[in-house]
Amino acid sequence: MKEKRARFTIAHVLVVAIRESNVATSIIRLIRFFAAVLVLASAGTSYAKPIVGAPAPAFSGTTLNGEQVSLDSLRGQVIVLNFWATWCGPCKQELPRLDAAARKPEYRGLRIVAVTTDADKVPVSAIQSLQSILSFPLLKVFSGVYEPIGRAIPTNYIIDRDGVLRYARAGALEADDIAELVGPLLAKPGARPQAPSIQTISAPH
């Protein structure tokens, strides 16, 4: 009888040990899994969405002329990434202010890129007529995590010479806003500019 009890006890201990071992192994695997997930998440956090004060996420786009523009091609410049629409009244008032800033000699090094959010809903000719009088490109195709903040148009993002996002807000920029936000960034030295890969469109004479 004692021998049977001893065998039962040993068997019971072995079963418990095996179960505990399996549980421990499962827990270790879960810990490793979630650790890997956290590492991957943290690796992409700074580029998952635009965050003021953090490196600006990459973007790229295509102009009406079919030329390519990207963050990398404009690195070393101060960039204003603008989101506008043809139906937006404040946008139509803001674009000339941005154009005036881009033409100022004291704003040398400023690059403005405007994303036409409704380019697929209006005739290209309607946008081309506006493009012909602006000194910066209007994009018909855009790729990146940037978007109108709160779905509000216009929205502006400003990126400094070192590729850091310095401003992100919905609402049109006034001339004083541009001077206050862009001026200090232009005065600060940064990465050496690359030759722009897009053509500057001159106003008709």
**pTM to 2 decimal places:** 0.71
Distance CA 31, CA 135 (A): 55
Residue 84 pLDDT: 98
- Furthest-apart CA atoms within the chain: distance in Å: 111
pLDDT at 86: 95
Query: What are the domain boundaries of the chain?
Result: 1-48, 59-187
How far separated are the first and last CA of the chain, in Å rounded?
111
User: CA-CA distance, 131 to 112, in Å (whole number)?
Assistant: 13
pLDDT of residue 24: 56
Cβ–Cβ < 8 Å for 185, 78 = yes
Name which of 68, 71, 52 is nearest 191 in CA terms.
Answer: 71
Tokens found for residue 38? 């956290």
CATH of 59-187, one of 3.40.50.720, 3.40.30.10, 3.30.1950.10, 3.30.70.3420: 3.40.30.10
Report the pLDDT value the prediction gives residue 189, as an integer from 0 to 100: 80
pLDDT beneath 70: ranges in the chain: 1-48, 190-205
Q: How far apart are CA 130 and CA 133, in angstroms?
A: 6
For helices 175-187 and 89-103, the axis angle rounded to 10 degrees is 40
> Cβ(122)–Cβ(149) under 8 Å?
no
